[in-house]
Amino acid sequence: MTEPEDLSGEGSVTEPEDLSGEGSVTEPFQASPGDASFDGNAEEPSAGEDEDADADGNRKDAGKQSAESGPEAEKTDVKDKSENAEQTEAAEGVPDIVYSTHVQTYGWQDDRRNGAMSGTVGKAKRLEGIRIRLENTEVPGSVSYSVHIQSYGWQDARVDGAEAGTTGQAKRLEAIRISLTGELAEKYDIYYRVQAQTYGWLGWSKNGEAAGTAGQSKRLEAIQIVLVQKTAEPDYSALNGMAEISSGTKVTEAASYVNADIQYRTHVQSFGWQNYVANGGLSGTVGKAKRLEGIEIRLANSSVSGGVRYMTHVQSYGWQDWQEDGAVSGTVGQSKRLEAIRISLTGEIAGVFDIYYRVQAQTYGWLGWTKNGGYAGTAGQSKRLEAIQIVLVPKGGRPDTARLDALAGVNSSVKQTPGTGYVAKDPEPLYRAHVQSYGWEDWTGKNGIAGHPAEGKRLEAYSVRLDSSAWSGSISYRSNLKGSGWQDWKRDGGVSGTTGQNQELLAVEMKLSGEVEEKFDLYYSVYLHRTGWTEWSANGKTAGNPEGAGRIEGMRILILKKGTDTKTYLLRSSDPAAAETLDRIGWSLENAYAFASSLSYSGKTVYTEDWGSYVLAQQGFRNGTGNCYVMAATFYEMARVMDYEVYQIAGFIPLMSGGETAHSWCEIVVDGNVYVCDPNLTQSRGNDAYMKPYGSAGIWVYQNYHRMLKENP
């Protein structure tokens, strides 16, 4: 297909000319005066904030006030909270730095000096102007300062007490630079930090470095400034005491100046690489059924150290390795669709921003927003990604969904599945066994049985793998062999055990790793000769008996999502045929007994305790026939799945002609009391033999009996 003449209708945007410019179309957060903050909602006032102010501190009754209040307003509400704020002294021999700020609603505050706070905290009031000067100095030089103003950007520098910023225009200060000149700059360093909307107190800047934010529509609310001699450090503890910092005060010390753009482009089926877009722009196509095949993501204009990393789930290949800072993730020229993606920040920037992203997925439309390394897209469903949006949000904030919907062209007619950012098939184990006499068998899964426990054939080797690569990670396992002990760990389809050596497996251990381990638990059970199924082992625990008391003849494996009702699920899974029968007849002990008593009698089954209750019961569930052992076993299995304390009994009953014959029934233990349940007696004689104490009228005189194999899990 030829290159399309115009991709702009599909969200392709040309490289932005200046991503750092104030008010450029690619800038993520620029708002007009009085607009809400980036997340699209007015910030909830923190303790002490003006509840009648909008997200930028504009009062809702602003029509009744001027943007710059008169002298009376200046003297109310903004009184020094510490009586000695104006008495702060510089270190011996260091000039005094004196400054005053113009605060929304309040106007010009009184002078502060040498680290005292100017502005407000907890009132959601913007700084609009500032004046800075030096006193008590005989060293030649000046203090120079420049401010970044809403809508206007960086203003030319002012010096020695001149006003920087605006008054009467309701424009917020967003950042500031302060420096010394002349001999002053040779002898002293000037340190300063600001309280910024959303971020709280930022880290310290010095000697002309920017402090605050840019491109995010965040107001400055307060400032501290201090001079120190070269090679000295400010007294940070004392300065914290002057900044009204308490346990409830937000502090973002990882950065003193916050500015960054997230840029990205995608390789699209038929079209190739699109141009870079930034800060929530749509990359890819919508409504053209074109797959994303590759992606590059990078940070630009960042004032904070750190990077971005990302990994994609690719058709046929699964999850690729992490890529970083503009490298290609996915494929080019292989016609392989991207199905899912993860993106996270690294370094200091991860402490300043959250990274949010969402994808347009085949069939589902736009999925919900994911952040900070979470999964976005689909996996295990053969669904292509078609478009993506990525945006940086101040730490703890939320995306401006209205703005981002507009960038993506999302409206009521566009399909969305917003409840989740990731639709993925849960991983399932696939496993197979090398069985005595049979060799390698076919793969099984979903609690299938690997091996032949009904025939007493030993397992000699096995392999396990995950059938879904929706989640990154692996499955590992190892075996204990009779006479050899534990082997090394194998993983993801490797063979554990031996073939052609007639060695018995005695025990196994299995575990998950990587992302799949974080979200799922691994359970496994083995069938031991003359013991039956072991209880379920989980996440690396031993199943079987390394001491050699019983070889493994069967194996079952389950993977369950963390938080699953494990007990109920494992009970059902211990005998799926019993659970399916109860689903059909109703989950009650009486119904289970009635089913077992209804089996047609067949004396062809020759009992051996090597088989165990599980193997006997499968004959009853599968064929609907069986002798007393099969009837008792079906009742036993259903009672066990319902979590009763139940035992299958093997013993004898007297014959009318004399002597005795082998017989099987069950015991149910309730509150320490033992009750007989004999479905074969009810089937053959019609006697009520359900939940009867031993010695009751109408039941057999049982002799020489014992509980059969160790009860199943």
d(CA 216, CA 194): 15
Residue-wise pLDDT for 535-590, tens only, equals 899 999 999 988 876 899 999 999 998 888 888 888 888 888 999 999 999 999 99
Residue 17 pLDDT > 50: no
Token pair 């003193």 is found at: 256
Nearest one of 306, 404, 387, 412 to 350, comparing CA atoms: 306
Mean pLDDT of 301-311: 91
- How long is the chain? 713
Residue-wise pLDDT for 194-242, tens only, equals 999 988 999 999 999 999 998 788 999 999 999 999 988 999 989 998 9
d(CA 508, CA 490): 11
Task: Give the start-end residues of each E strand in 550-655.
Answer: 552-561, 600-601, 625-626, 645-654
Nearest one of 505, 612, 613, 521 to 570, comparing CA atoms: 521
Q: Within 10 Å of residue 594's Cβ, how many Cβ atoms?
A: 16
Q: Calculate the alpha carbon distances from 181 to 115, 131, 185 in Å.
A: 20, 17, 5
Mean pLDDT of 298-306: 89
> pTM of the full predicted structure?
0.56
Residue 62, burial from CB neighbour count under 10 angstroms (0-12, 13-18, 19+)? middle
Q: Name, in order, each residue with C-beta under 8 angstroms of 325's C-beta and a sequence gap of 6 or more.
A: 297, 298, 299, 307, 308, 309
Residue-wise pLDDT for 324-362, tens only, equals 999 999 999 999 999 999 999 999 899 889 999 999 999
What is the three-state SS of 338-382? EEEEEEEEEHHHHHCEEEEEEEEECCCEEECCEECCCCEEEECCC
Residue 18 pLDDT > 80: no
Tokens for 596, please give them. 């077992």
d(CA 597, CA 631): 7
d(CA 203, CA 211): 8
Average pLDDT value over all residues in the chain: 84
Least confidently predicted of 197-211, 272-286, 592-606: 592-606
pLDDT at 19: 30
pLDDT at 604: 62
Q: Name, in order, each residue with C-beta under 8 angstroms of 92's C-beta and a sequence gap of 6 or more.
A: none
Nearest one of 383, 356, 372, 369 to 417, comparing CA atoms: 369
Residue 264 pLDDT > 80: yes
Angle between helix axes 576-585 and 628-641 (nearest 10 degrees) is: 80
- What is the SS3 assignment for 713? coil
Residue bearing the bigger pLDDT, 199 or 669: 669
d(CA 288, CA 286): 6
Tokens for 62, please give them. 């602003």
Tokens for 65, please give them. 């006030």
pLDDT at 412: 81
pLDDT class of 468 with cuts at 50, 70, 90: low
pLDDT at 6: 31
pLDDT at 106: 96
Q: Give the H or E element holding residue 621.
A: helix 612-623
d(CA 549, CA 422): 46
pLDDT class of 686 with cuts at 50, 70, 90: very high
Mean pLDDT of 502-509: 94
pLDDT at 302: 87
pLDDT class of 21 with cuts at 50, 70, 90: very low
d(CA 713, CA 697): 33
Instruction: Provide the pairing of β-strand 474-481 with 450-451.
Output: unpaired
pLDDT at 256: 87
How would DSSP label each residue in 54-97? -TTS-BTTGGGS-SS--HHHHTSS---SSTTGGG--PPTTPPEE
Tokens for 426, please give them. 């849960």
pLDDT class of 45 with cuts at 50, 70, 90: very low
Mean pLDDT of 583-604: 92
Q: Give the H or E element holding residue 635.
A: helix 628-641
Q: Calculate the alpha carbon distances from 364 to 11, 54, 313, 385, 559 in Å.
A: 19, 37, 17, 10, 26
Residue 366 pLDDT > 90: yes
Residue 622 pLDDT > 60: yes
Residue-wise pLDDT for 70-101, tens only, equals 434 433 344 444 333 445 777 777 999 999 99
